Structure 1
């Protein structure tokens, strides 16, 4: 039996400890792989007759962020969000990264800019407190994992795009509760309600970085609609640009480290950054 299967089955052996609304009468079975990403995989859980349960097992396969206690920070953020209906309910978590949570589904249609912005705004309004997002540490962690020549190329591109100035602006911004990874694959439906999954990057930080990650490559008008839906008081264009520039770098470095076939080279990123 391979290591992930051992970890999953250890969690299943603790089925009586799961805090389900309706406790199970007998242990479930591990079903098929439903989805997987760079850091996690999600497995179906079934009854003994192989009928699916409304819960799934999520296993952490590798750490993709820096920090002293990424699992504990993710769990705290997930609990805060779940209590306000912004994340799937979580019924069990162990110390090796296996989580039992409510099964949710991917939206059948693309999520609108307004709906995404509204979700971001509701996350920013959460009253919980998390550690502060340290973007410089995240960037340094990615750079340290690269070969020296590649690291130097990225550092030169960062200087050209004045990343230090953008980071300074975001660091001076008022911190809010942020998800920091609201990409398309992390948007799900719990019934008819839009929720977010994968809270490992959640932290207190600038809303403008969070929104830039969420906006991704959406058309300019959709991005404006999203920002207006999330920031109902005021949209600061200087912080928008700082968030976009920093988010594009963090995304590019993350891809370079974990999914290199999808990553831009420093020169391409620099050209794209000049348009922001």
Structure 2
């Protein structure tokens, strides 16, 4: 539902930002476009907490900002380096986590589990009052790309992680976005046309109890091959949920097409997908497209073709109407 924090632009010109209360001049570096004052202060406060970062050996001094990472629809992130050459990412909240059903505590716990499993960067520092998270910066292995089988294995690893006391309630999430969304005329018409189908799918999925820890946003932009392994980034939407929603996010978000979806399902299920599998994928893909459209309509980020998103949503609704809901 938002782009990767790990797709850096060309390295910007960096210059010192001075006059930050209680902070030495020059420890924060600004990109060409000056950061908003509030973000400068938050970044300064996170850096000033460097002694509390979980690092072994301890950091020798306060890190400095090397580059802004982005773009991201939800948050802003910065690559920082320590005097001894270690690299980290600082992520600052750009949206209200509660408004989007995000649990930063659940994300922190999931990151620790995922790092131990070798599928996520190591978390180093967490401060919900500042809306800040620090974790190891992962360098991209430029010589190695990942394929559908790799993604299936990554999903299986995620779904095998220890459970959390935080659940993704797709019905509640849909209700929240419907309440806050003020769609234009065409979007309102499109949403009204599929409301009945959406409500039927939501009623069906409330009876599904096959829950596991899910990433819930494993788009291509949130995956990286680093250190010879495919790893998952941006765990803020992680929660207990249906593994089929995770599969639908990949299939729908990556626009895999029928052959790509079949390959992903076969590698994940370790068998060829049956009719019920296609029905489950279609139902959760519809919910994904619906939430995505409501999210974009609510947040209004730049550079998003909302009309194309609506067309994908209507096509997903048609697929569910054709296949029907899973039975049994």
**Which interval holds the TM-score relative to the shorter structure?**
0.7 to 0.9
| Residue 245 in structure 1 maps to residue 289 in structure 2 | no
Rounded Cα–Cα distance in structure 2 between residues aligned with 1:181 and 1:154: 24
* Aligned equivalent of 2:59: 24
Structure 1 residue 98 displacement after superposition: 1.4
Q: Which runs of 5+ in 2 are unaligned?
A: 1-19, 21-36, 321-328
Q: 1:179 aligns with which of 203, 215, 221?
A: 215
Structure 1 residue 184 displacement after superposition: 1.1
Give the 3 Å change call, closer, same or farther, for CA 233–219 of structure 1 in structure 2: closer
Give the 3 Å change call, closer, same or farther, for CA 102–266 of structure 1 in structure 2: closer
Q: Residue 126 of structure 1: SS of its match in structure 2?
A: coil
Q: Which runs of 5+ in 1 are unaligned?
A: none
Q: 1:54 aligns with which of 64, 84, 87?
A: 87
Rounded Cα–Cα distance in structure 2 between residues aligned with 1:26 and 1:148: 49
Residue pair 2:118, 2:231 contacting (<8 A) in 1 also: yes
Rounded Cα–Cα distance in structure 2 between residues aligned with 1:256 and 1:152: 10
| Residue 273 in structure 1 maps to residue 310 in structure 2 | no
How many pairs does the alignment contain? 273
Q: Residue 165 of structure 2: SS of its match in structure 1?
A: coil
Give the 3 Å change call, closer, same or farther, for CA 129–271 of structure 1 in structure 2: closer
Q: Residue 285 of structure 2: SS of its match in structure 1?
A: helix
Rounded Cα–Cα distance in structure 1 between residues aligned with 2:306 and 2:141: 26
Residue pair 1:212, 1:247 contacting (<8 A) in 2 also: yes
Give the 3 Å change call, closer, same or farther, for CA 168–117 of structure 1 in structure 2: farther
Structure 1 residue 172 displacement after superposition: 2.5
Structure 1 residue 201 displacement after superposition: 1.0
Aligned positions of 1:226-265 closer than 5 A:
226-232=264-270, 235=273, 236-258=277-299, 259=301, 261-264=304-307
**TM-score after normalising by structure 2:** 0.75
**TM-score after normalising by structure 1:** 0.87
Give the 3 Å change call, closer, same or farther, for CA 41–67 of structure 1 in structure 2: closer
| Residue 92 in structure 1 maps to residue 130 in structure 2 | no
Backbone CA RMSD of aligned residues: 2.6
